[in-house]
A and B are shown apart, each in its own frame.
Chain A
Amino acid sequence: MIQREAHVMAITPAASTPHTPFWRTDAPMLAGMKFVWLLLLTLGLLLPVAMMLLQATGLVAGAHSSDQHGMALVAHVVQAPNFLAMVGRTLAVSATVALIVVPLAFAFAYAVQRTRMPLRGTMRTLAMLPLFAPSLLPGIALVYLFGNQGLFKAWMPGASIYGFWGIVLGESFYTFPYALMLMLATLTLADGRLYDAARAMGATQWRTFCTVTLPGARYGLFGAFALVFTLVATDFGVPTVVGGSYQVLAVEAYKAVVGQQQFARGAVIGLMLLLPALLTFGVERIVQRRQHAALASRAQPYQPQPDRLRDGLYLLLTTLVIGWILLMLATAVGASLVKLWPYNLDLSLRNYDFDNMDGGGWLAYRNSLKLATLTMMFGTALIFTGAWLVEKTRMATWLHPVIRFAVLLPMAVPGLVLGLGYVFFFNHPDNPLNGLYGSMTLMVLCTIMHCATTAHLTSVASLGQLDPVFESVSASLKVSALRTYCRVTLPMCLPAVLSCARFLFVSAMTTVSAVIFLYSPDTVLASVAVLNMDDAGDIGPAAAMSTLILVTSIVVSLLLEFAMRGVMRRTQAWRTASR
């Protein structure tokens, strides 16, 4: 009887199906969403960057233009005494950091992925801690450790932390997790069969390392080197604090704009900072493609054998690295909690009395929380939905190449350069959006754009793991793509969505570079306050604010992690359901 009803229902003639007009389907909605996303990318990214390029090359006179334009200005900046020396110093310090950090990160990643050393997971987690700190924190910690009143000042008679080695030490701390993430990703791709083959042919460990491990990781190594080099060259947080008289380009660009109001000069220097970033971008794309090819072949995971000597040596090495990271963090945190480092080590919250100091006070911290929360909410929604639109829907596909290009662009644009672009574009008197300058809205937009590439790539990777015919099936069942997005795609990609959210929150909390040109007295940020307090010589409060940023980033990350676990337990039973 049941089957008979099914039969009757199944032969209902199709001709009776009403023909839904175009505007009732989800097609215009999806196309509209794509246009909105592209519009935001254009306003928040393409136009500011274009404006920055035009100003630096002098093709357009800016609102803050000095007497000189174009090549004359470039020539003037380049020929200035001290300029070439400054370029040389930037190159030297960037290359030195890369040469220290990349091998160290490689060894660390090797220890985590290819040995049976104990505490691998813990070491890996701890190594990521610098990501939660603003880039000024290592500088501050170094001052407390090796500065004129430093804890270990006596160990280095005659030498000063201010200068080349200060920058190198601070930047090593700041860039280590970035290099490590890349190396970890590179080393996961090991094909166990190659190692079995090498062993079967009697190759020594060293020979196996040289013939199997290194060639497999060479693109990753190259990519990590370029990445670290660019991060150092474009960062001004560390050199501002411990650079002393060792002037580098990033600090010069910052000072030119903020200190001396020489916007055109800042633009020219910013343009130079774009060069290593573009190089990294190119290398990164090549690395990605090569690694993808390596992934495509069906590799067997590599299972390392226990080896006491090797595991012990790697444990020693990773302990030293983690010890160094923890020492830096503990110094900054500890120094913020005492009365007067290093003379009076009594515990005190004096340094946290922000309202009685310059820098913005607790308002700055509240603003940062607001910025981070808004960036997380809007950024995650926009970037993940944007990735879904491009990867999974077929309306207005001619927009896809433009959107893909725009969303990958931030990887090639240092925060400092993006911030300058915002100054030139939004602070231009002829821009109708001029009123946004100095507002929280603009800082949120800027931070979202600054972080877009990483969050987008995470989203794309997780969307790529879904069955590509889900959308086709939904369409055949007459269910709109948006409904399937909410009911299937989003729940399935929840871990990636939350990891984007966490990344955006932490980035917004710690970033200085992009927003340094955009704040107003009402919208001053915690990370900016650190910079300003340090400038004013209030290093104790600067350490305190850094600590607050660090703790907030970690706590919110943990909260998101717990929230995710809770949500997963309630809504994601399918992940753990067993037969």
Chain B
Amino acid sequence: MFQPTFHPNQSNARPFLSVRQVTRRFGAFTALEGVSLDVAQGEFVCLLGPSGCGKTTLLRIIAGLEAQDAGSIVAGGRDISSLPPGERDYGIVFQSYALFPNLTVAQNVAYGLGDVRGSRARERVSEMLALVGLSGSEARYPSQLSGGQQQRVALARALAPAPSLLLLDEPMSALDAQVREHLRIELRRLQRKLNVTTVMVTHDQDEAMAMADRIAVMSNGRIEQTGSPADIYAQPATAFVAGFVGQANWLPLSRSAEGMPMLAGKALSIDGNADADVANGAPRLFCRPEAVTLHAADDAPNRHLARVVEHIYLGSRTRLTLAIDGLPDAPLVAEVPSHSLRADVGDSKLWIALARDGLRVYA
């Protein structure tokens, strides 16, 4: 079987989709503020952010369903900034599927085939249905399909005219958890196979992590950071990204006379951005729950005495809330493999350590 080799971040290639300084205002509210984003040919980019961050507006502007106040959009070498939706050459899948209920599955998929008629259209329809694993459903109506099946038909319909760009607007948030997880993998596989450039909007960070080549984290109408899922998680560029993606602990940080970072009166060693320029406000230490180790050896760096305030058993892992000596008001959440816990945890204070490579400093 033919599998295209895939290089998401070919830095030398010209981007397929290029959003330049796009701004959109609704009255006094600024939905997008000078947003720029490049997407390579065949790349899968997720726009991730809380509701109201502007991610859906950005997608609608790329789709031409909404007009930007400033900025430009180039796709496949064409400036599509002011083209109507029908001229932009993309397929789109909405959260509601938006299948036409009065048309059969085959008629839905063939809807955009326009001048393709007769047996060629039929062939294309069965091709697309085979692609999404729904062969034989041609004559059924959308209401006869499950939510997951409807979403696949919507995908087949969007892809049938072979668009150069696929836009997905929270395509899976109406499905239940199990179907969603399954469809995630399938959609990603399909996208790789067709090598179609894809932009997906989601507020679900697990979804973004599992599917995207790159994630653009958005907040308040700006892109805070663009990077691979691993980059976003391990090296969040801003405090917002750190807090929005994954779990975070925030501890008060002080500096010694020499400018060295200190936690609860003890010197701290940090691999990350220890020298981060924190001009205004007190610096805060960021630490993922899994960066905390319990029962630290005597020579472990960043070793502190802590008391267990609460512990929650989660199966393979256990989540503990700790109070570090000298920091009673800054609870620290740690997640450790359940089997690593000693039976007597919680009875007395214990030594913990913060992994040097899991610490970062933000304002």
- Point out residues on A near B: beta carbons under 8 Å: 2-7, 9-15, 17, 19-20, 25, 27, 467, 469-470, 472-480, 487-488, 491-492, 571-574, 577-579
Contact = CB atoms under 8 A, between A and B. Distances in A.
A305 B106 CA distance: 46
A474 to B, nearest CB: 8
A213 B130 CA distance: 55
Contacts of B84: 25, 27, 475
B103 to A, nearest CB: 7
B143 A4 contact: no
Contact of B91 (A5, A476, A573, A579): A476
Given A14-B163, A476-B85, A579 B76 contact: no
9 contacts: A3-B127, A7-B2, A7-B194, A13-B164, A15-B78, A25-B87, A478-B161, A573-B141, A574-B103
A478 B83 CA distance: 12
Interface in B215-261: none
Highest count of chain A CB atoms <10 Å: which of B102, B112, B141, B165: B102
Q: Size band of the B side of the interface? A: 35 or more
| Most central of B1, B2, B85, B86 by chain A CB within 10 Å | B86
Contacts of B111: 474, 477, 479
A12 B76 CA distance: 11
A3 B112 contact: no
A473 B94 contact: yes
- Residue of A14, A480, A574 with most partner-chain B CB within 10 A: A14
A11 B127 contact: no
Given A14-B78, A478-B112, A479-B111, A470 B162 contact: no
A476 B196 contact: no
Contacts of A480: 86
Contacts of B180: none
Contacts of A7: 2, 4, 193-195
Contacts of A2: 127, 130-131
A10 B195 contact: yes
Contacts of A488: 100, 102-103
Nearest to B89: A14
A10 B144 contact: no
A14 B88 CA distance: 9
Given A11-B194, A20-B87, A476-B158, A467 B102 contact: no
A3 B193 contact: yes
A30 to B, nearest CB: 11
Nearest to A491: B102
B200 interface: no
A473 B96 CA distance: 11
A17 B102 contact: no
Contact of B162 (A10, A473, A474, A573): A10
A488 B111 CA distance: 11
B114 interface: yes
B255 to A, nearest CB: 53
B1 to A, nearest CB: 8
A11 B196 contact: yes
Task: Tell me the interface secondary structure of chain A in the complex.
Answer: helix
Interface string B156-170: 011101111101000
A564 to B, nearest CB: 15
A3 B142 CA distance: 24
A479 B160 CA distance: 13
B63 A472 contact: yes
Contact of B86 (A3, A10, A11, A25): A25
A55 to B, nearest CB: 42
B75 A467 contact: no
Contact of B144 (A9, A487, A579): A579
A357 B247 CA distance: 91
Interface string B120-137: 000010011011000000
Interface string B292-335: 00000000000000000000000000000000000000000000
A27 B85 CA distance: 12
Given A478-B112, A571-B102, 19 more contacts: A2-B131, A5-B127, A10-B163, A12-B162, A14-B164, A15-B77, A17-B89, A19-B83, A25-B86, A467-B96, A467-B98, A473-B94, A476-B158, A477-B112, A478-B87, A478-B161, A488-B102, A574-B103, A577-B140
A472 B127 CA distance: 24
A572 B131 contact: no
Given A478-B114, A491-B102, A6 B158 contact: no
B65 A472 contact: yes
A469 B170 CA distance: 13
Contacts of A4: 1-2
Contacts of B96: 467, 469
Nearest to B194: A10
B92 interface: yes
B90 interface: yes
B36 to A, nearest CB: 21
Most buried by B among A3, A5, A571: A3
B344 to A, nearest CB: 50
A2 B156 CA distance: 14
Contacts of B98: 467, 469-470, 472-473
B157 A477 contact: yes
A476 B159 contact: no
A453 to B, nearest CB: 28
A492 B101 contact: yes
A238 B84 CA distance: 56
Interface string B33-49: 00000000000000000
B77 A469 contact: no
Nearest to A21: B87
A479 B144 CA distance: 25
B18 to A, nearest CB: 13
A488 B102 CA distance: 7
B144 A577 contact: yes
Q: Which of A473, A480, A491 has the most CB atoms of chain B within a 10 A radius of its CB?
A: A473
B101 A6 contact: no
A574 B163 CA distance: 29
A19 B193 contact: no
B341 to A, nearest CB: 44
B128 A15 contact: no
B102 A572 contact: yes
B63 to A, nearest CB: 7
B141 A6 contact: no
Contacts of A574: 101-103, 141-143
Contacts of A476: 63, 85-86, 88, 90-92, 112, 158, 163, 167
